[in-house]
Amino acid sequence: MTLLHNYLSNGGRMITAEQIKQLLKAHGWTLILEPRRSRGKRFAIAKKRHAGRLLTRYIKAESKFDELTEEDILKRIQVL
C-alpha cells in the first residue's frame, strides 16, 4: 500500500496522534509516546492493564504515523 493510497482511503487526511489516542481509548488502551535511545525518535506504544498484568503493544514510529490506518492499529492491539 502506498502513502497516497492510505491518504485517499483515510478520507483524504492523515491520521494524527490525537486520533490514535482516541481510537485506543475507545478500546481501553492508553497511548504512550516513548523516546528510544538518544536519537530523539519517539515511538507510539499502547498500554493496557489486563488480569493484573500490563500489556504493551508497539504501534509505530511517530515519524511514520502517515502510513497508519485504523485497521492497522486495531490489528496491533488485539489480545491473542
Entry field: residues in the chain: 80
Question: What is the C-alpha to C-alpha distance for residues 52 and 67, in angstroms, rounded to an integer?
Answer: 33
CB 21 within 8 A of CB 15: no
Domain boundaries, the chain: 3-76
CB 4 within 8 A of CB 58: no
> What mean pLDDT do residues 69-77 have?
89
Supply the pLDDT for residue 63.
86
pTM: 0.74
> What mean pLDDT do residues 40-58 have?
92
pLDDT for 3 beyond 50: no
> What mean pLDDT do residues 1-27 have?
71
